[in-house]
Amino acid sequence: MLPSRVSPSSEKLPDLGVDLDAIESGTSLWKDAWLRLRKNRLALMSFWVLVFMVLFCFLGPFFTGQDYRTNNLEKTLLSPQAGHLFGTDDLGRDQLTRVMVGGRVSLGVGIIATTVSLLIGVAYGATAAYVGGKADAVMMRFVDVLYALPFTIFVILLMTLFERSIVLLFVVIGAVEWLTMARIVRGQVLSIKQQEFVEAAVSLGYSSGRIILRHIIPNVLGVVVVYATLTVPAVMLLESFLSFLGLGVQPPMPSWGSLIKLGADNIQLYPHLLVIPAVFFSLTLFSLNFLGDGLRDALDPRSSKD
């Protein structure tokens, strides 16, 4: 229904004599955030390091001319050299290709599981806090119950109930990690809900869904982003722990976690087996942390210095 009192006709409006296109451009939250992020050199560099990592791991194996799972027992444990830039492992497989393929698993698990935990956690926590009362109590007790379940048993249960696959691994880790996210978001939303601008939004006739999505979630993004960048390494470590138990990725499929473990076993004689995957792993984690820090600042309009 079109309310008669709000006239949508433009005839009554004076020509403002300004370029509306120029004013209109650059209104999105993410566009603003990107402009502010570009001024933060460390965060920007981290961003490009991560882009490089993704390209390196996902496109690299097509260019090495080697296969990550073909054994060559005549060429085991070679040092870095032409043909095998990162050397070979104990079964003679090309370490460069294995680092790339391992990176796919680690980055994939880090990004996908974190995204899953982010989506569930933010939606769940924000809803619980905004609705409040009994719904909040019931929803958060459910989280408490899941918290109390031993994680390993939970994963073993899911892994045996469903067919074992990498995708399932991603989802399972995400499904465990969202609990903390939900609690953090709930706490934040509880305090933001008290602010007058939420009351003002209600008084302007906005629906609850709109208020949560448009007015509350942007206000918690800073905290969420920082926590998400902390979740990524946690998730990567979880993956290597599960792989170690035989519940994660299966050999010959590598991950950075399993490569580091192999390197640690051979540290005295073949340090390059440890150092190279460790450098990639650490570089990724550092970049994620710097980027997360930069994003938190960039997402807050009050932090802009211009």
| Options 18-26, 54-62, 70-78, 138-146: segment touching another protein (CB under 8 A) | 18-26
Tokens 């990524």 correspond to what residue? 232
Q: Which is nearer to another protein, 192 or 273 (CB)?
A: 192
Q: Which of the stretches 42-50, 105-113, 215-223, 264-272 binds another protein when contact is defined by CB under 8 A?
A: 215-223
Residue 138 interacting with another protein (CB under 8 A)? no
Q: Which is nearer to another protein, 92 or 218 (CB)?
A: 218
| Residue where the block lists tokens 């899941």 | 146
Residue showing tokens 């460069």: 96
* Candidate list 195, 250, 279, 282; residue touching another protein; CB under 8 A: 195
What φ, ψ does residue 154 adopt, rounded to 5°? -60, -45
Rounded distance, CA 33 to CA 40, Å?
11
State yes or no: residue 38 binds another protein (CB under 8 A). Answer: no
We find the least distance from the C-beta atom of residue 293 to another protein, in angstroms, to be 18
The nearest distance, CB 5 to another protein, in angstroms, is 5
206 binds another protein (CB under 8 A): yes
| E-assigned strand segments in the chain | none
* Dihedral sign computed on CA atoms, order 291, 296, 297, 299: positive
Q: Is 11 in the site for another protein (CB under 8 A)?
A: no
Least distance in Å: CB of 299 to another protein?
8
Taking the C-alpha atoms of residue 66 and residue 250, their distance in angstroms, rounded to an integer, is 20
- Rounded to an integer, what is the distance from CA 70 to the centroid of its chain? 32
Nearer to another protein (CB atom), residue 3 or residue 150: 3
Stretch that binds another protein, among 8-16, 70-78, 242-250, 252-260 (CB under 8 A): 8-16
| Binder of another protein out of 11, 74, 163, 196 (CB under 8 A) | 196
215 close to 197: Cβ distance less than 8 angstroms: yes
CB 153 within 8 A of CB 177: no
Q: What Rg value do the Cα atoms of the chain yield, rounded?
A: 25
Contacts of residue 302, Cβ cutoff 8 Å, sequence gap at least 6: none
C-alpha distances out from residue 3 to 8, 187, 207, 211, Å? 10, 39, 18, 22
Residue with tokens 């939250």: 29
100: helix, coil or strand? helix
Q: By CB under 8 A, is residue 268 in contact with another protein?
A: no
Closest among 108, 114, 65 to 256, alpha carbons compared? 108
Stretch that binds another protein, among 74-82, 177-185, 212-220, 229-237 (CB under 8 A): 212-220
34 near another protein, judged by CB under 8 A:
no
What distance in Å separates the CA atoms of residue 131 and residue 212, rounded to the nearest whole number?
10
Closer Cβ to another protein, 80 or 301, answer by number: 301
Q: Which C-beta is closer to another protein: that of 74 or that of 306? A: 306
291 class by beta-carbon count within 10 Å (0-12 exposed, 13-18 middle, 19+ buried): buried
By CB under 8 A, tell whether 306 contacts another protein.
Answer: no
- 305 counts as binding another protein under rule CB under 8 A: no
Of 133, 150, 268, 269, the one binding another protein (CB under 8 A) is 133
Binds another protein (CB under 8 A): choice among 138, 167, 202, 267: 202
By the criterion CB under 8 A, which residues form the site for another protein?
Answer: 2-3, 5-6, 8, 10, 13-14, 16, 18, 20, 23-24, 26-27, 29, 132-133, 195-197, 199-207, 210, 214-215, 218-219, 221, 299-302
